[in-house]
């Protein structure tokens, strides 16, 4: 029955810890609320996946955004926080269609990543086949130490 609560997937339920015999009931609920059930939602379904890699002089951020056009994506850097936001509005051009269920009308998603020493100048973003790749240069930090005399 842990499938009902997505954040408790790793925890044991009371019924499995103490042997109360609810296993068949839990299995029935898990089957009913499986991922094939059309109204089941999860927080992870309403966002996009992001990978962040750190290299010597830059960060590389890759985001999966299939079906999203370049004009629907905004990328901004504010005080070290890289914000990727998507707003897609599908107009209903063919009103003669009789939809039974429709979820693709308006989409708004965003992800933010904190990059401590991100440099605002020279950021590059490219969208290629549903993969958004952002190169964020790092600020150069002095690597030498300073000795301070104590009076």
Measured distance CA(121)–CA(10) in Å, rounded: 43
Measured distance CA(106)–CA(116) in Å, rounded: 33
Can you tell me the mean pLDDT for 135-148?
A: 83
pLDDT above 80: residue 137: yes
Class of the domain covering 47-92+101-137: mainly beta
Give 118's strand partners. Answer: 138
pLDDT over 70 percentage in the chain: 62
Q: Confidence band (pLDDT; 50, 70, 90) for 89?
A: confident
Q: Confidence band (pLDDT; 50, 70, 90) for 7?
A: very low
| CA distance between the termini of the chain | 67
pLDDT above 60: residue 69: yes
CB 113 within 8 A of CB 82: yes
Domain range summary for the chain, segments of one domain joined by +: 2-32, 47-92+101-137
The rounded mean pLDDT for the chain is: 77
Residue 87: name the closest of 102, 96, 98, 75 by CA: 75
């Amino acid at each position: 029955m842990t499938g009902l609560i997505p954040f408790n997937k790793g925890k044991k339920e009371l019924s499995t810890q103490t042997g109360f015999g609810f296993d068949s009931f839990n299995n029935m609920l898990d089957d009913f609320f499986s991922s094939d059930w059309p109204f089941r939602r999860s927080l992870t379904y309403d966002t996009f996946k992001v990978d962040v890699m750190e290299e010597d002089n830059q960060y590389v951020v890759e985001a999966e955004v299939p079906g999203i056009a370049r004009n629907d994506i905004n990328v901004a850097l504010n005080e070290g926080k890289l914000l990727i936001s998507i707003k897609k509005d599908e107009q209903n051009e063919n009103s003669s269609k009789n939809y039974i269920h429709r979820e693709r009308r308006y989409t708004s998603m965003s992800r933010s990543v904190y990059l401590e020493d991100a440099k605002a100048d020279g950021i590059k973003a490219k969208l290629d086949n549903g993969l958004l790749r952002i190169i964020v240069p790092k600020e150069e930090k002095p690597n030498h130490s300073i000795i301070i005399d104590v009076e």
